[in-house]
Structure formats: C-alpha cells, structure tokens
Structure 1
Amino acid sequence: MLIFPAIDMKDGECVRLRRGDYATAQKVAENALQAAQSFEADGAKWLHMVDLNGAKDAHPVNASLVFQVAQNTGLKVEIGGGIRRMDTIEYYLNSGIARVILGSAALNNPDFTTEAIRTYGDKIVIGIDARDGFVAAEGWLETSSVDYIAFAKQMEQLGAQTIIFTDISRDGMLSGPNLEMLDKLNRAVSCNIVASGGIRNAKDITALRKLGLYGAICGKSLYSGTLKLADAVAAAGGQNEA
C-alpha cells in the first residue's frame, strides 16, 4: 500500500485544517519544499499536495510552490485544488506533475471529466470528499445530494482508475479513518482507493492495509508526531512506486 504524505497550501504557507474549515488553518512547516524534502528523506516516493486557495477560487493559486517541490525532489507529486480546465491539467502535467486530482469539477462537470480521463488516463485522479455520505465540493463549502458510492460508480464508468476518499468529519481530527465507508467503497468499485482523513498512527495504516486499499494519505499525524513516516511505510508493507 502506498503512503502519501500531504502538503496543503494556503496563502503560500504549509498548513493543516480541521474538517476542511479554512478558519482553522495552522502553519505546520516552514515551507513546502523543506517539508517535501524531509518526507523524501524518510522514505516517501509520492507526495499529495492541495492548493486550498485554488479550491476556493476555482483556479491554481499556489502552483509555483508545487513546481518548486517537483523540480527539487525526486518525489512523484499529485496536485488537487482549483483544476477546472483542460489547459490547467496540461499545465501541471507538462511541468513535471505526475497526477492531477479532480474534485469539484468531477462532480459539476462530467463532460470535462470524461474528456480529461479519455485524454490523460491514469494521470487523472478523482477526489471524493463526503460529508455524512454526500459529496462535497468547492473547497468543501458546499454539500451536494449525491451519494458517495453512486458518484464513485459514475466515475468508474467514465474510466477513472484511482479515487481518493475523504470523510470530512474525520479530516485533521486524528480520530481514525472511517473504515466502514472505505470498505464499502472499495467493495463497490474496481478503482484503486486511497484513504484520506483521520489517520492517527501505524495501527490505522495496518487497518487500511487489511482492507486491501491502494494507498493512504497522512497529514496531521505526521506534523503532530502521532505517526512517523517510516513507521507508516513499514505498516503499509513497504513503499512501492506504483
């Protein structure tokens, strides 16, 4: 199982939120590059980055930080937040980013999502962020009436190969991942499922691995010290570069 350390960017700084609330933003590292280099030194192969300003403004805001990380580390970088256009996807992928994540756009613009998947295949990841089982969008500021399982099946039909699932109520809370929702999702679709939100320690990683998931995103736990990246990688069965 892959481990994805996370870097969330807001106003040029490396921050973490609680349950997606922008008002709770707390600086957790001096800068994105320094954090990324530390993760790489501890055994990471992949890095999950989110442009929080971009998610709200519907266009890239912190792209320069993303490129700085990609160009100055050996990490494979995936980026989400504010990706609504084909030229934005091309902009990222042509600049050394490994994968882009579609969240709000996947929910609100299935034609765009279809075109993106058809054009870029497995370089497109679908982010499904759920509040009480319903898909949220626009930086988690809006919640739809779309069930997360139904939406995942729709994305699978479009050809999506990887889905990142976040239970918003667990995000940044160190309360443990929602194993029940993740297991249900993993059984419902053939896509690779990446768990996000709530991971606290190596026991959580072990539990996710037992579900047969593709990967796990770790953010708050790494910055707060409840989980060491090396321990996460070990609990995941060793880091590969899938």
Structure 2
Amino acid sequence: MIVYPAIDLKAGQVVRLSEGAMDSATVYSHDPAAQAKQFAKAGASHLHVVDLDGAFAGEARNAPAIEAIVAAFEGEVQLGGGIRTAHAAERWLALGVARIVIGTAALTDPDLVRTLAGKHPGRIVVAVDARDGMVATAGWAQISDVPVADMAHRFEDAGVAAILFTDIGRDGLLKGCNIAATVDLARQVDLPVIASGGVADLSDIERLHACAHEGITGVIAGRAIYDGRLDLAAALTVARRQ
C-alpha cells in the first residue's frame, strides 16, 4: 500500500482545508518545493498534489508551485485540481507528473477520461469525492445526483489506474478515515481504490493496510502529518509491510 503525503496549494502556499471549504485554509508552508523535499527525506516515494484554486477555476492556478514540486521531488507526483481538458492533462504529463487525477470532468466529460486513459494507461486516476454518498464536483462546491459507486462503475473498463475516494465530511478534520465506506466501494468496483479524507493517526494506516486485500492500494494523508499526529516515516513502514 502506498502512503501519499498531500500538498494542497492555495495562492502558492501549502495549506489544508476543513471539509473542502476555501475559507478554512490553514497555511503550513510558503515553500511547496521545500515541503516536497521534506517528505522525500522522510522516505516518501509518492506525493499527492492538489491545485485548490484550480479546482474552483477549472484551470491551473498554481502552475509555478507545481512545477517546482515536480522538479524537487525525486519520486512520483500525482496531481489533481482543475484538470478538465486533454491539453491540460497532456501538459502536466509532459512536464513529469506521473499521474493525473480527474474529478469534475469525469462526471461532465467521461469520454475525456476514456481517451486519456487509453493513450496513457496507468496514468489517469478518477476522483470520486463523496458527500452523503453522492459525487461532489467543482472543488466540492456542487453536489450531483450520482451515487459514488455508479460513478466508479463507469470507468471499470476504461483503463484508469485507480479510483481516488474521498469522504468530504471527514477531510481535514482528523476524525479518522471512513474505512467502512472505502472498503465497501473497493468491494463493489473492479479497480484499485485510494483512500482519502480524515486520516487522524497511525491507527488509520494500520486499519487500511489490513484491508489492502480488498483492493485498497493507497491512502492520502495531510493535516495529520502537518500537525504531528502522524509520523510519516512510521506510516510508510506500516504501509510497506507484506
């Protein structure tokens, strides 16, 4: 199982939000590239980066910071936030981003996901962000009438790398990951699932690792690391156990 430390970007700074609310941002660093290097020093081989401003705008808003992160981090960078065109996805892939995460466009333009996944197998991830079981889009500002499992099923035959499942109601709140919902989705869908939202401490990593056989291949952690509640090196050790 892979642990992805998260770098969420707002106005060029590393922040964390509570339940996706932009006015709840806590700033943790003014130097995203330095933060990426710190994660690498702790042993991280993967990063999860989100352009929060881009998620609302529908296009990149933190490009310089993202480019700096990609240049500084020797491992794989997974990027999401406002990537809603083939041109945008191709640009980031060409610049060295290992995986592109597509959320809003997966709902509004599923053919885009299928085209990109066909052209770049293993490099496209579909974000399924849930509030009360329904898919949220546009930086989590809009709630659709599409159930989470239905959204995930649409891409089982598309060649995507994974489903990134986030429980918005827990994101950034340190309430603990919604493992039951994550496992339930993994059991229903014939795709790897990455867990996100609410990771509080090492016990969440332990519990998710115990469910890896259900199809959970990764977990994203943010605030718990920044607040010192989760030691990244310890989390990586747990996740890498056979």
The match for 2:37 is 37
**Residue equivalent to 1:237:** 240
Paired position in structure 2 for 1:73: 73
Structure 2 residue 207 is matched with structure 1 residue 220 = no
TM-score by length of 1: 0.96
Q: Is 2:132 the counterpart of 1:132?
A: yes
Residue 126 of structure 2 aligns with an amino acid whose one-letter code is: I
Distance 1:41 1:60 in 2: 28
Structure 2 counterpart of 1:156, one-letter code:
E
1:153-189 CA distances to partner (integer Å, 9 max, x unpaired)?
1121323231110000010010111111111111111
In the alignment, what sits opposite 2:84?
84
Q: Indicate the residue corresponding to 2:115 in structure 1.
A: 115
Where in structure 2 are the equivalents of 1:148-159 lying within 5 Å? 148-159=148-159
Maintained 8 Å contact 2:56/2:82: yes
**Equivalent residue for 2:25?**
25
* Residue type of the alignment partner of 1:151: M
> What is the Cα-based RMSD across aligned positions, in Å?
1.2
Question: 1:190: how far off?
Answer: 2.0
User: Residue 7 of structure 2 contacts residue 49 of structure 2 at CA under 8 Å; is this kept in 1?
Assistant: yes
With 17-26 and 68-77 compared, the bigger mean Cα shift is at 68-77
Deviation for aligned residue 1:238: 4.9
The residue type equivalent to 1:188 in the other structure is Q
Cα distance between partner residues in 2 of 1:202 and 1:236: 10
**Aligned residue for 2:54?**
54
Comparing 29-38 with 14-23, greater Cα deviation is found at: 29-38
* Partners of 2:185 and 2:151 in 1: CA distance: 10
Amino acid in structure 1 at the alignment position of 2:204: D
- Matched to 2:134, the amino acid is F
Give the ranges of 4+ consecutive aligned residues of structure 1 lying more than 6 Å apart after TM superposition. Answer: none
Aligned to 2:187: 187
* Aligned counterparts of 1:57 and 1:141: Cα–Cα separation in 2: 11
- Separation in structure 2 between the aligned mates of residue 73 and residue 104 of structure 1, nearest angstrom: 27
* TM-score, with structure 2 as normaliser: 0.96
Deviations 1:66-111 (A, max 9, x none): 1111112212101100101111111001111111100000011112
> For 1:14, what is the secondary structure of its paired residue?
strand
DSSP-derived class of the 2:122 partner: helix
- Corresponding position of 2:166: 166
SS at match of 1:155: coil
Q: Secondary structure at the match of 2:5?
A: strand
The answer to whether the 8 Å contact 2:134/2:148 transfers is yes
In structure 1, stretches of 5+ residues that fail to align are none
Q: Which runs of 5+ in 2 are unaligned?
A: none
